[in-house]
Amino acid sequence: MRNNTKEADGKGFPLRITAVEVRVVDNPDATNVGQREIDFVKNMLPVLDWPALVQAASQLGIPTLPPQLTEQLAQDPAFLQALYHILMNVHLVKGMLTCPASGREFPVTDGIVNMMLEEEECERVRV
């Protein structure tokens, strides 16, 4: 599961995740995460909404993320490796994303999030 699933529409953010099936890819290169992956995560850090990520991870059964992102952690290769693993190798296969504000639900099937809105909802957001 990646950034996009956490990034939700307008007022309702972050989406609450109800996981039915989670697939963790045992990436063969999980142990030897290279400099490239670390660089990638570093570039991603400013884009991430940290509290939202912590919440999302715990809803997926990963309670190990620290509540605060400190400068020191952001430089720690071991931490960045672990973060890379969470960002890139944990996939939500089946479940539901729920908007905290309106309770609107978006189903996830076969690893694909369906973010489609109804016609009338659509007309509302367009204006």
Partner 1 sequence: MDIPTETPASSSSSSDGKEERYLVLIEFAYRHLDFQIAEIESVLDMHGIQLGSPDCRVYPLPGQDETGRTTPASSNPELRRPYLILSFPAKDASKLSDNSNSVDRWGLVTRATNENASIAEILSRCTLVKTIVELWGASTSSLDTCAKECGEWIKNTKVGQSIFANVAGEQESWKLTVHTLGTKYTREEQAEMRDKFSYLGFQGPVQMKEPNHEYVLIREVEMDGKGSPLHPRHGIDKNVIPEHDKLPPLGLYFGRLLGGKSKKGRGGLEQYNLKNRVYLGPTSMDAELSFVMTNYGQVQKGSVVFDPFVGTGSILLSCALRGAYCMGSDIDIRVLKGRNKEETIWKNFDQYHLRRPELLRTDNAIYHRHFRRHQPLYDAIVCDPPYGIRAGARKTGSRKDTPRPILEEHRHDHIAQTKPYPVSDVMSDLLDVAARTLVMSGRLVYVIPSFHEFDPHTDLPRHECLKLVHSCYQPLQAELGRRIVVMKKIKDYDFSKRDHYMSNIWVNGTESAEKCANLRDKILEAAKQKPDYERKAAVRRQKRKVLKEEKKAAKKKKKKRLGEDNDEVEETQS
Per CB under 8 A, residues contacting partner 1 are 2-10, 13, 36, 39-40, 46-47, 49, 88, 109-120, 122-123, 125-126
Distance between CA atoms of residues 120 and 92, nearest Å: 28
Inter-CA distances, 21 with 8, 56, 57, 65, 118, Å: 21, 14, 14, 20, 26
SS3 94: strand
Report cis status (omega within 30 of 0) of the bond before 100. Answer: no
* Complex with partner 1: residue 11 or 63, whichever CB lies closer: 11
* Least distance CB 22 / partner 1 (angstroms): 15
* Least distance CB 73 / partner 1 (angstroms): 20
* Complex with partner 1: residue 28 or 63, whichever CB lies closer: 28
* Complex with partner 1: residue 73 or 89, whichever CB lies closer: 89
Asked if 100 and 6 touch (Cβ cutoff 8 Å), the reply is no
* Complex with partner 1: residue 13 or 16, whichever CB lies closer: 13
